[in-house]
Amino acid sequence: MATNKEIKQDEQPDNDKIVDLNADKVDATGTLMTTNHGVRINDDQNSLKAGDRGSALLEDFILREKITHFDHERIPERVVHARGSGAHGVFKLYESQSALTKAQFLNDTSIETPVFVRFSTVAGSRGSTDLARDVRGFAVKFYTDEGNFDLVGNNMPVFFIQDAIKFPDLIHAVKPEPDNEIPQAASAHDTFWDFISLTPESAHMIMWAMSDRALPRSYRMMEGFGVHTFRFINAEGVSSFVKFHWKPLLGVHSVAWDEAQNISGKDPDYHRRDLWDAIESGNFPEWELGVQIVSEEDEFKFDFDLLDSTKLIPEELVPVQRIGKMTLNRNPDNFFAETEQVAYHIGHVVAGIDFTNDPLLQGRLFSYTDTQLIRLGGPNFQQIPINRPLNPVRNNQRDGYMRQTIDKGKSSYNPNTLGNGFPAQAKASEGGFTSYPERIEARKVRARSKSFLDHFSQAKLFLDSQSDPERNHIVDAFSFELGKVKTVAIRERMLGILSLIDSGLAAEVAFALRLPVPQDPALPLNHSIPADGDPADYDPTIVRSSVAISSALSMAGTVKDSIKTRKIAILAADGVDEISLTTVKDALMAAGAVVEVIAPRLNYIIAESDAQIVVDHSFLTAASVLYDAVYVPAGTNSVATLEAEADAIHFLNEAFKHCKAIAADKAAIQVLEATYFSSKLPDDYSEETVLREGVVVVDDVEELADKFILAIAQHRFWEREKPRKIPA
């Protein structure tokens, strides 16, 4: 058998050939219809019958093929992350990371690595709403020259459980209850909170899930996290611990809970549509890849365990280094073939990236291949075009359902001489993957490390880091969710858990539920203390976090200097002032916003100047919750029509209720005076007031446009919620 040393250069596999990801695409434009076997079809409208009123004939192979294929078009949906949306893009490195990792796509700044990203909700089915209160999946497949690397994460940096053996329990609890299959895509029910109230390790994650992070404004405006601690390994074999982050360049923004519920009724495809439209219009979403690096010698210097997936590393302790940028620049050509069939796996890594002993990560390494086998029909799912690596696949695996590769040659085993020893094993210096030689000396046990047993410090850190409006939303979320729980004992037990995080939080939620906060709540039985442990070491009321507040955990300080891709509604009717409308519209579009005119009827409106202005939506087909801000231009007849139009007033009331920027020409003030918030209009419209209140009413249309843009960039004016006035 030929050894690696004996292989001559001209016998080496042709690794320079790159598979064309577009090779299997078919465009039927200008072609004739055929069967799946290539026979041209003369009539696709009528089945073959015994006379025009006779029975269908069994020999109709065209009918049989078409119906049979249709009957088998559905595949099992994902157990979790079923509701998703994807896009193609590229990743570009800023600066070589060769000191940390030998992964080539993180070493060479000249490489542009193709990616496919899939965003998703977790709990709901494929037909559920985009706007459920839920974790969002954020999975990235890097098609590197050394193989595929899948960074399979979420928009939250921690998870509900510490050990993968609890994952089936978590998902069974959050899915619709098995007796009646209710509720869909919602955690506000008994089984979920029964599980959470008995699982103290979920305390940190549940704070994230009840926060505004669970209601992103857009996939383009949410962070992504690898969740687990991974390893980087450089060419010298030196290992570092690494946490992965995706930082959106548009900032991190959310919607209000009431708004989310309305969007679910108005447009359940809101996030999917938003991503598609942004890419189609050339407003390509961008994120920077960030890493937190911890050296081997610093593994135990923190007051938490790096291997605990219910913990994060505060950025005050280890800053996030931004090392590259991902841009999504192409929508899929076919949703099923790409977005639905893409198969991610946390175990898809390349040389230079490796795993740690995180017990949640370790379980995921088993689970992903197992689920793809049943979902995609067999062991050859990686041959589906969206899953193929760029570099050629060469090994001795053969056959199986839907095998597409036609392997030539006599040998399909190793070692061999009949194939001259090919395919040959690659040395580490040739890019061969080698696992990090971590030294392990331990007994086999079913146990948790003592370092995993602080469940409440980081939950409190998260809560204490929120702005006042964000904290109010967390209180409201717990009050809503637990208010949907029918079993009082579960509510009481959950209040006990909240009291161990923060007594004020527990008191506010208890007030909404009209229940007392349990005194000295007992931890559930699965919070066990080892027989030889000191109870003082496991006291959950002790705050162990060395960081009191982490600014990165709040969205209050996110990017607020751009209105790019924000959707702005202009409310108008016949008789609108064309100059007022077009001046503001042009200014908004020049700043990168998407502007749509909404009127009582579709097609067009006639301005005071007799010009026809295109109408994008009527009040029947549009809704305030689908826009980021709203403007009312001048025009005597238009203003009078809108003032008398109930849908227009409701549109403005909802926009104000959901804390959005609102602007009106001073000549249109009577429309705002017809709203419920008319008494809340500012006394002046200085820049300072506009940035605080989010309302602009001035008569100089160019000044109005400038101040309106400043207001929209703030995203929301959550302080409006404080008085808790009567809803719109």
Q: Among all residues, which ones are annotated catalytic? A: 81, 154
d(Cα 284, Cα 249) in Å, to the nearest integer? 11
d(Cα 356, Cα 293) in Å, to the nearest integer? 14
d(Cα 237, Cα 438) in Å, to the nearest integer? 11
d(Cα 290, Cα 325) in Å, to the nearest integer? 9
> Are 290 and 100 a contacting pair, CB within 8 Å?
no
Helices of type H across 119-269: 167-174, 190-197, 203-209, 257-266
DSSP annotation of 552 reads G
Element (H, E) at 657: helix 646-657
Neighbours of 568 (CB within 10 A): 25
604 forms bridges with which residues in the sheet? 614
> Are 141 and 119 a contacting pair, CB within 8 Å?
no
d(Cα 386, Cα 116) in Å, to the nearest integer? 8
Q: Supply φ then ψ for residue 492, to 5 degrees.
A: -65, -40
Reduced to 3 states, what is the DSSP secondary structure of residue 648?
helix
Side chain identity, residue 311: K
DSSP code string of 304-359:
S-TT-TT----TTTSPPEEEEEEEEEE--S-IIIIIIT----TT---TTEE----H
d(Cα 34, Cα 20) in Å, to the nearest integer? 25
Chain centroid to Cα 474, Å, comes to 20
∠ CA 231-219-369, nearest 5°, is 45
Element (H, E) at 488: helix 488-501
> Are 135 and 211 a contacting pair, CB within 8 Å?
no
Hey, what's the torsion of the CAs at 104, 107, 109, 110, to 10 degrees? Answer: -40
Strands 230-233 and 147-154, bridge-based pairing: unpaired
User: In angstroms, how far is the first alpha carbon of the chain from the final one?
Assistant: 79
> Are 387 and 340 a contacting pair, CB within 8 Å?
no
> Are 217 and 263 a contacting pair, CB within 8 Å?
no
Residue 132 half-sphere exposure, CB side, CA atoms within 13 Å?
A: 27
d(Cα 603, Cα 614) in Å, to the nearest integer? 6
Hey, what's the torsion of the CAs at 125, 139, 554, 710, to 10 degrees? Answer: -90
HEC profile of 558-571: CCCCCCCCCEEEEE
